[in-house]
């Protein structure tokens, strides 16, 4: 029997392996550690037998317990829906005005509507309806299409300038410059008139000429005093709140070739109760009328 | 030293099994009494009823986690008031410091759950397997029918006690009669079965198998207990000046050298639940239970020598006695007075706060997005969420008032005015919009005060907030 060598400092046996004068000591793993390791291996093997585990080309092994985490999820989701049913049932039968009058349904709708809004609407309108460039703020009191609950619901359901839905809100401002309805001088004049409405400095002579152009071309939609028309979706030009930038260059560009924002219809994508909840939520953000 | 002389060094000391022997005496009696009272309280408390009215749990002590309430007799704690638990923990800690400074490890030796349940488990073990010598002999025996039978019986009784212990713990978090019924009929939830199994398992392992290992290796308390001691603290001590040199009782009559009172019978060591030899002096493993005092007193009485060779005394007194000077107990010391003062202070604060606590609590949160909006007429609007906690059982109506900015106007969503209603024992969540003319704001952040007033009791709750606007 070969003599066992022991390390001088620790008294541990060496394995006989040596690299560059460094000898490997034989410190085996503790038995309890190995036992835990073997137990984990056995557990792991058992797991792959009992539960879905191995992928294959056409699916995966199902496991002999028949467990499925998707099924689990659907069960939980159904249970959650069942718990909410006492509210959602009433929301489905009531109109948005009645919902906002009921303290319980209002609280439920505000919480649920916020979730719906953050998931579907916040991408354009911002979290909390703060608005993003080119997308209107929903937290102020300036409503292009009206800020009553019914108006908001109509907008949510059918969208704006959405070609797929005949009930969608439609309004198109003519491209006065591009289509040759106004010449460059007239556009410059009417721009000056709009600038005068914002309280900024303006050229009085051009503004007076512009007022005339405005009266002939713009009053039909924007109204005598440029206060807008919610029926037509013509924004007020006097409110100091601008969906697009509120400066001279932006006005001129808009009159020349206006931008037309589009909002999709949510009817069909969101269930009826969710549409009502998000309507109540949007109405609560600050500017509902 | 040659290479072959080197011996493996292990940092691990294998457990030496301890066979505590039965003992009679003063401290043993105190321990039985304390054990009886504590276990009695523990098992009976969840069954006490306390009528709180309809729809509210009628259990005197209940931590209702799903319902977000804790009930302690007439006191009801909401999650927002969880700081009362912090107060109780502080009282517990300083109570422990005071008790330790005065009387040493009384907590460890008499009232610690680990001690109490281990004592109970040891009682079962002694009852089934016999006293120390019989148990040592039994463990040395090869496995046979008798041995297997005794071991099975012991572990069976242990598991039963553990189950009752774990079950009782779960009763503090569930309605006790309902839990028992559902547990027996298999209708309890998997979480309930799981937690009961967990507490049963830990009781069985800790009190049955780990025993003194918990005190010596797992528990942090022995490690800093010595910081609570001083030379005036009462401790289990050995009167070395009287006992040494020790020798067999027979050697005494033989003459020659003069022996001390200790006859080295080893009984103090044999009865110790943590296997301590107190004659070696103060040590971490000693839990101060005093069973060695009982054992030694019995032996001293039998051989006709003065008792209290091992005794409950302070190190100062022991030094005095050794030097033949008068010994005196002194319990009033700066340390004990400080601990007592802190306990009194926290206790008074708790009682005061409980006695005067408001049953109306409000939390106010300003919208973060958008921080503010400009309205079409140039005014600035801020949005806030208000949660009103109505902690009484009656419905209440509250009036919201805002001050701090002139011309500030308030709108509560879903309400015509500033009045809101919150049903009893619940939380009302409201959205509030404030708007003010831009000219009324002096800065981009103006302090305001929101006051909620209960319309019936006229109790108010005021909250400081800010109104944000554009930078000036």
Per-residue pLDDT of B52-89, as tens digits, reads 888 889 999 999 998 889 999 989 898 888 889 999 99
Contact A130 B7 (CB under 8 A): no
Three-class DSSP category at A232: coil
Substitution target from B11, B390, B413 for chain A, most A beta carbons within 10 A? B413
Question: What pLDDT sits at residue B8?
Answer: 61
Question: What pLDDT sits at residue B261?
Answer: 87
- For chains A and B, what is the number of CB pairs under 8 angstroms? 77
Query: What domains are defined for chain A?
Result: 14-60 (no CATH), 71-168+263-283 (1.10.760.10), 184-256 (1.10.760.10)
Contact B373 A10 (CB under 8 A): no
Task: From residue B370, give the alpha-carbon distance in Å to each of A131, B333, B429, B433.
Answer: 9, 61, 20, 12
Contact B7 A103 (CB under 8 A): no
**Which tokens sit at B11?**
């940092």
Of B344, B96, B113, which is closest to residue B228 (Cα–Cα)?
A: B96
Dihedral of alpha carbons A142, A144, A148, A154, sign = negative
Helices (H), B131-248: 132-140, 145-171, 176-185, 190-203, 212-213, 221-225, 240-243
The per-residue pLDDT for range B5-63, each reduced to its tens digit, is 556 666 777 778 999 999 999 999 999 999 999 999 999 999 999 998 888 899 999 99
Is residue A222 within 8 A of residue A229, CB to CB? The reply is yes
DSSP 8-state secondary structure symbol assigned to residue A236: P
Q: Is A130 on the interface with B (CB under 8 A)?
A: yes
> Does residue B245 have a cis peptide bond before it, meaning omega lies within 30 degrees of 0?
yes
Is residue A119 within 8 A of residue A224, CB to CB? The reply is no
The per-residue pLDDT for range A159-201, each reduced to its tens digit, is 999 888 889 999 889 999 999 999 999 999 999 999 998 888 8
**Which tokens sit at B292?**
């060695």
Helices (H), A198-243: 204-217, 219-222
DSSP 8-state secondary structure symbol assigned to residue B426: E
Mean local confidence (pLDDT), A45-74: 92
Contact list, B381 vs chain A (CB under 8 Å): 139-141, 286
Contact A9 B367 (CB under 8 A): no
Mean local confidence (pLDDT), B321-341: 93
* E-assigned strand segments in chain A: 14-19, 22-25, 55-56, 59-60
Q: Is the per-residue pLDDT at B311 higher than 70?
A: yes
What is the rounded average pLDDT for all residues in chain B? 91
Residues of B with CB under 8 A from a CB of A: 1, 3-4, 6-9, 367-370, 373-378, 381, 383, 413-414, 421, 428-429, 431, 433
Mean local confidence (pLDDT), B339-356: 94
Give the chain A residue nearest B366 (alpha carbons).
Answer: A128
Tell me the C-alpha distance between B131 and B123, whole Å.
10
Task: From residue B347, give the alpha-carbon distance in Å to each of B91, B94, B95.
Answer: 7, 11, 11
Q: Is the per-residue pLDDT at A224 higher than 50?
A: yes
Q: Is the per-residue pLDDT at B254 higher than 80?
A: no
DSSP B436-447: E-GGG-SSSEEE
Contacts of A112 (CB under 8 A, 6+ apart): A274, A277, A281
Pairing mode, strands B396-403 and B445-454: antiparallel
Tell me the C-alpha distance between A155 and A149, whole Å.
10
Contact list, B373 vs chain A (CB under 8 Å): 130, 137, 139-140, 286-287
Q: Is A236 on the interface with B (CB under 8 A)?
A: yes
Question: What pLDDT sits at residue B443?
Answer: 85
The per-residue pLDDT for range B99-150, each reduced to its tens digit, is 999 999 999 999 999 999 999 999 999 999 999 999 999 999 999 999 999 9
Contact A140 B381 (CB under 8 A): yes
What is the enclosing helix (H) or strand (E) of B312?
A: strand B310-314
The per-residue pLDDT for range B185-220, each reduced to its tens digit, is 999 999 999 999 999 999 999 999 999 999 999 999
Q: Is the per-residue pLDDT at B248 higher than 80?
A: no
Of B382, B416, B422, B378, which is closest to residue B402 (Cα–Cα)?
A: B382
Predicted TM-score (pTM) of the model is 0.74
> Does residue B370 have a cis peptide bond before it, meaning omega lies within 30 degrees of 0?
yes
Question: What pLDDT sits at residue B205?
Answer: 96
Q: Torsions phi, psi of B113, nearest 5?
A: -55, -35
Question: What pLDDT sits at residue B62?
Answer: 95
Residue of A42 and A2 predicted with greater confidence: A42
Mean local confidence (pLDDT), B401-413: 91
Tell me the C-alpha distance between A49 and A65, whole Å.
9
Degrees, nearest 5: CA angle B221-B227-B230: 125
Question: What pLDDT sits at residue A1?
Answer: 47
* Confidence at B1, pLDDT banded by 50, 70, 90: very low
Q: Is A65 on the interface with B (CB under 8 A)?
A: no
What is the enclosing helix (H) or strand (E) of A9?
A: none
Residue at token pair 């007075």? B337
Phi-psi label, residue A226: left if phi above 0, alpha if psi -120 to 50, beta otherwise? left
* Confidence at B3, pLDDT banded by 50, 70, 90: low
pLDDT cut 70: percent of chain B above it: 96
Of A191, A196, A202, which is closest to residue A238 (Cα–Cα)?
A: A196
DSSP 8-state secondary structure symbol assigned to residue B210: I
What is the enclosing helix (H) or strand (E) of B263?
A: none
Q: Is the per-residue pLDDT at A256 higher than 50?
A: yes
Is residue B421 within 8 A of residue B414, CB to CB? The reply is no
Summarize chain A as % helix, strand, coil (round to 5): 50, 10, 45
Give the chain B residue nearest A14 (alpha carbons).
Answer: B3
Q: Torsions phi, psi of A105, nearest 5?
A: -65, -35
User: How close does chain A come to B9, measured CA to CA in Å?
Assistant: 7
Q: Is A11 on the interface with B (CB under 8 A)?
A: yes
Tell me the C-alpha distance between B39 and B349, whole Å.
30
What is the rounded average pLDDT for all residues in chain A? 91
Task: From residue A94, give the alpha-carbon distance in Å to each of A110, A154, B293, B398, B412.
Answer: 16, 15, 80, 28, 22
Q: Is the per-residue pLDDT at B249 higher than 70?
A: no
């Amino acid at each position: 029997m070969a003599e066992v060598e022991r390390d001088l400092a620790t008294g541990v046996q060496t394995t006989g392996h040596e690299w560059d004068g460094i000898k490997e000591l034989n410190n085996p793993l503790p038995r309890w550690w190995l036992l835990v390791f073997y137990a984990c291996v056995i557990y792991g093997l058992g797991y792959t037998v009992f539960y879905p585990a191995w992928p294959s080309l056409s699916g995966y092994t199902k496991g002999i317990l028949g467990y499925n985490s998707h099924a689990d999820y659907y069960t939980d989701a159904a249970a959650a829906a069942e718990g909410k049913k006492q509210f959602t049932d009433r929301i489905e039968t009531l109109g948005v005005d009645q919902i906002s009058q009921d303290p319980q349904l209002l609280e439920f709708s505000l919480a649920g509507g916020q979730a719906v809004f953050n998931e579907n609407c916040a991408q354009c309108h911002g979290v909390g309806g703060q608005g993003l460039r080119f997308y209107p703020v929903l937290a102020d009191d300036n409503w292009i299409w009206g800020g009553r609950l019914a108006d908001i619901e109509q907008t949510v359901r059918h969208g704006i300038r959405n070609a797929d839905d005949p009930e969608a809100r439609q309004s198109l401002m003519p491209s006065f410059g591009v289509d040759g309805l106004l010449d460059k001088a007239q556009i410059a004049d009417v721009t000056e008139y709009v600038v005068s409405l914002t309280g900024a400095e303006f050229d009085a002579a051009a503004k007076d000429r512009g007022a005339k152009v405005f009266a002939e071309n713009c009053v039909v939609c924007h109204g005598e005093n440029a206060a807008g028309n919610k029926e037509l979706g013509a924004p007020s030009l006097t409110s100091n709140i601008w969906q697009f930038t509120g400066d001279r260059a932006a006005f001129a560009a808009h009159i020349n070739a206006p931008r037309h924002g589009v909002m999709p219809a949510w009817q069909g994508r969101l269930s009826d109760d969710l549409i009502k909840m998000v309507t109540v939520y949007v109405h609560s953000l600050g500017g509902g009328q | 030293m040659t290479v072959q002389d080197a011996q493996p060094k292990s940092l691990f000391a294998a457990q030496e099994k301890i066979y505590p022997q039965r003992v009679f005496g003063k401290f043993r009696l105190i321990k039985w009494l304390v054990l009886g009272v504590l276990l009695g309280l523990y098992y009976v408390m969840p069954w006490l009823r306390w009528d709180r009215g309809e729809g509210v749990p009628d259990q005197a002590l209940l931590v209702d986690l799903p319902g977000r309430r804790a009930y302690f007799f007439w006191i009801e704690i909401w999650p927002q008031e969880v700081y009362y638990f912090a107060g109780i923990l502080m009282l517990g800690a300083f109570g422990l410091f005071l008790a330790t400074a005065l009387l040493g490890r009384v907590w460890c030796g008499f009232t610690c759950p680990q001690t109490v349940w281990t004592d109970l488990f040891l009682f079962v073990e002694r009852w089934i397997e016999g006293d120390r010598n019989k148990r040592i002999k039994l463990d040395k025996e090869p496995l046979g029918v008798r041995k297997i039978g005794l071991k099975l019986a012991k572990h069976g009784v242990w598991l039963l006690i553990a189950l009752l212990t774990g079950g009782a713990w779960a009763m503090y978090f569930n309605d006790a009669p309902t839990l028992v019924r559902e547990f027996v009929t298999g209708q309890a939830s998997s979480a309930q079965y799981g937690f009961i199994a967990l507490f049963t398992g830990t009781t069985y392992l800790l009190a049955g198998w780990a025993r003194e290992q918990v005190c010596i290796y797992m528990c942090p308390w022995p490690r800093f207990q010595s910081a609570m001691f001083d030379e005036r603290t009462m401790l289990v001590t050995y009167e070395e000046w009287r006992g040494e040199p020790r020798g067999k009782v027979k050697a005494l009559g033989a003459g020659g050298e003069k022996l001390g009172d200790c006859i080295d019978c080893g009984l103090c060591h044999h009865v110790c639940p943590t296997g301590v030899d107190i004659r070696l002096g103060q040590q971490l493993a000693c839990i101060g239970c005093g069973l060695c005092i009982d054992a030694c007193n019995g032996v001293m009485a039998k051989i006709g020598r003065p008792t209290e060779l091992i005794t409950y005394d302070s190190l100062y007194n022991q030094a005095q006695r050794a030097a033949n000077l008068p010994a005196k107990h002194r319990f009033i010391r700066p340390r004990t007075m400080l601990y007592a003062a802190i306990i009194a202070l926290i206790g008074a604060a708790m009682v005061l706060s409980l006695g005067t606590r408001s049953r109306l609590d409000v939390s106010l949160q300003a919208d973060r997005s958008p921080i503010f909006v400009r309205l079409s007429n140039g005014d600035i609007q801020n949005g806030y969420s208000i949660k009103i906690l109505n902690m009484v059982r009656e419905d209440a109506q509250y009036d919201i008032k805002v001050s701090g900015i002139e011309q500030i106007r308030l709108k509560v969503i879903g309400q015509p005015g500033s009045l809101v209603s919150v049903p009893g024992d619940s939380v009302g969540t409201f959205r509030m919009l404030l708007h003010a003319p831009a000219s009324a704001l002096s800065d981009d952040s103006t302090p305001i005060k929101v006051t909620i007033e209960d319309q019936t009791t006229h109790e108010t709750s005021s909250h400081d907030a800010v109104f944000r606007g554009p930078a000036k």
